[in-house]
Amino acid sequence: MRAWSTPDVPTLPETGPPVRIHDTATGTLVETSPEGPARLYVCGITPYDATHIGHAATYVGFDLLNRAWRVAGHEVSYVQNVTDVDDPLLERALKVNLDWVALAERETELFRQDMEALRVLPPAHYVGAVESIPLVIALIQRLEEAGSIYRVDDDLYFSVTSDPRFGEISRMERDEMLLVFAERGGDPDREGKRDPLDCVVWRGERPDEPAWDSPFGPGRPGWHIECTAIAQEYLGEAFDVQGGGSDLVFPHHEMSAGEGQVASGSDFALAYAHAGMVGYDGEKMSKSRGNLVFVSALRNSDIDPMAIRLVLLSHHYRDDWEWTDNGLFDAVDTLERWRSALALGAGAPAGPVVAAVVAALADDLDAPTAVAVVERWVDATLGTSGLADTSDKTAASVVRDLLDASLGLAL
Ligand code: 5CA
Ligand code: ZN
Centre of ligand 1 to C-alpha 22, Å, is: 19
Encode burial over 249-258: b for 16+ CB neighbours within 10 A, e otherwise: bbbbbbbbbb
Ligand 1, pocket residues at CB < 6 Å: 43-46, 54-55, 57-58, 81, 83, 227, 244-245, 247-248, 275, 277-278, 284-286
Could you give the domains of the chain? 20-280 (3.40.50.620)
Query: In angstroms, rounded to a whole number, what is the distance separating the alpha carbons of residues 117 and 125?
Result: 19
Question: Which ligand 1 atom lies nearest to the CA of residue 88?
Answer: 10
- Amino acid 121 reads L
Identify which of 406, 392, 393 has the alpha carbon closest to the alpha carbon of residue 309. Answer: 406
3-state secondary structure of 406: helix
Give the residue ranges of DSSP H helices in 118-264: 133-145, 174-183, 223-235, 254-264
Centre of ligand 2 to C-alpha 232, Å, is: 12
The residue contributing the CA closest to ligand 1 atom 24 is 54
Question: Which ligand 1 atom lies nearest to the CA of residue 278?
Answer: 26
Query: In angstroms, rounded to a whole number, what is the distance separating the alpha carbons of residues 286 and 265?
Result: 36
Query: In angstroms, rounded to a whole number, what is the distance separating the alpha carbons of residues 374 and 353?
Result: 7
Centre of ligand 2 to C-alpha 85, Å, is: 13
Strand bridging mode 283-284 / 278-280: antiparallel
Q: Is the CA virtual torsion 401, 403, 408, 410 positive or negative?
A: negative
Ligand nearest to the Cα of 184, by number: 1
3-state secondary structure of 72: coil
Question: Which ligand 1 atom lies nearest to the CA of residue 58?
Answer: 28
Cβ atoms within 10 Å of 184's Cβ, excluding its own: 14
Cβ atoms within 10 Å of 12's Cβ, excluding its own: 18
Q: How many residues does the chain have?
A: 411
- The residue to mutate among 55, 80, 114, 316, having the most atoms of ligand 1 within 8 angstroms of its beta carbon, is 55
Centre of ligand 2 to C-alpha 227, Å, is: 5
Which pLDDT tens digits describe the chain residue by residue (411 residues)? Answer: 999 999 999 999 889 999 999 999 999 999 999 999 999 999 999 999 999 999 999 999 999 999 999 999 999 999 999 999 999 999 999 999 999 999 999 999 999 999 999 999 999 999 999 999 999 999 999 999 999 999 999 999 999 999 999 999 999 999 999 999 999 999 999 999 999 999 999 999 999 999 999 999 999 999 999 999 999 999 999 999 999 999 999 999 999 999 999 999 999 999 999 999 999 888 777 777 777 899 999 999 999 999 999 999 999 999 999 999 999 999 999 999 999 999 999 999 999 999 999 999 999 999 999 999 999 999 999 986 655 556 788 999 999 999 999 999 999
Centre of ligand 2 to C-alpha 44, Å, is: 6
3-state secondary structure of 290: coil
Ligand nearest to the Cα of 243, by number: 1
Contact between 382 and 341 under an 8 Å Cβ cutoff? The reply is: yes
Q: Is the CA virtual torsion 189, 176, 238, 243 positive or negative?
A: positive
Residues with CB under 5 A from ligand 2 (ion): 43, 227
In 153-308, which ranges are E strands?
155-158, 199-204, 219-221, 239-245, 269-275, 278-280, 283-284
Centre of ligand 1 to C-alpha 150, Å, is: 29
- The residue to mutate among 1, 42, 58, having the most atoms of ligand 1 within 8 angstroms of its beta carbon, is 58
pTM score: 0.96
Centre of ligand 2 to C-alpha 40, Å, is: 12
